[in-house]
Homo-oligomer: A and B are copies of this chain.
Amino acid sequence: MTHRVAILGATGAVGGTMVRVLEERAYPLTDLVLLSTQRSAGRRIAFRGREIEVREAAPDAFAGVDVALFSAGAGASREWAPHARAHGATVIDNSQAFRLDDGVPLVVPEVNPAALVDHGGLIANPNCSTIQLVLALAPLHRAWGLERVVVATYQSVSGTGAEALEELDAEIAADRDGTTYTPRVYAHPVAYNVIPHVDDALDGGSCREEMKLVWESRKILGLPELRLAATTVRVPVRVAHSEAVAIEFARRPDPDEARRILASAPGVAVVDDPSLHAYPTPLAAAGRDEAFVGRIRRDPSHEKGLLLFIACDNLRKGAALNAVQIAETLRRPAGVVPAS
């Protein structure tokens, strides 16, 4: 039986990670189609010991495709999803194009796999900073009932894309050489700096990344009234996002019990012994599959509060891995959560 997978945006930071994740996990595909815009077509990407040429996206490129993993931006998703679906492919879309649409499941397989039932051929992959947050929130919610969440993020430049990784390197080289580099990707230098604004500015003073955390967490957790506040900040880290999280529950939480709950939660690993310098860092999380959680402690400012810190590879679990896990879940008996 053939199982053909296509990746749209194969030359990007997330698309390249999708290729690696499919290979690492021995995803049972028989054919891999790599697609991109015209600009990147013709490049060759290694997969399972051979090289696959990246083709320019075109309507007939989706012929015979069973699963199409999209990571080429919201515009490309809107343009190409109808073609892929017309060819019978199930689209798993990493952009923000469809995430909040009624009838489009927004899925973290460890958290809400049941949402995949009746997906109608289009499934949205959540935003990277949302995925790692809900992985930690969901099991704690079952224990004590989420009331309110306050998040501050430390987001790596790879979340913006490969060009932002180059910009960080160029800024650091210019700093070393005493030359000038004018930022092109970000509005401010990101090297030796933090930029407290991610994605578009919205009315009311929030940026879109902050509201993605609100809207998407509510949808994934099935808590449409969840109170959540976020400040999203870019930091000069290459890969892996971090989050400082203050959670208020309906019932009084216990830090030791939280550690036990999180240690057994799928997709989560606890790293939490500050006296031995053990806590999550993005450098240690990069290249790993889990959301690492630590600094778990009582909130000294709230009777029913808990504080914690999360670090997770934004390209893997925050994007490529989660998309591949969705594809894996679709091929499994209903309700079975894939291994992280």
Contact = CB atoms under 8 A, between A and B. Distances in A.
B196 A244 contact: yes
B237 A233 contact: no
Contacts of A192: 236-238, 283
Contacts of A221: none
B201 A274 contact: yes
Interface residues of A, number: 59
Interface stretch (A53-61, A137-145, A301-309, A325-333): A301-309
Interface in A195-211: 195-197, 201, 204-207, 211
For the residues of A in contact with B, the DSSP-based class is mixed
A70 interface: no
B307 A229 contact: yes
A246 interface: yes
Copies of this subunit:
2
The CB with the most chain B CB atoms within 10 A, among A193, A272, A274, A277, is that of A193
Interface string A256-272: 00000000000000001
Contacts of A238: 192
A25 interface: no
Contact of A283 (B188, B246, B301): B188
Interface stretch (A3-11, A43-51, A83-91, A147-155): A147-155
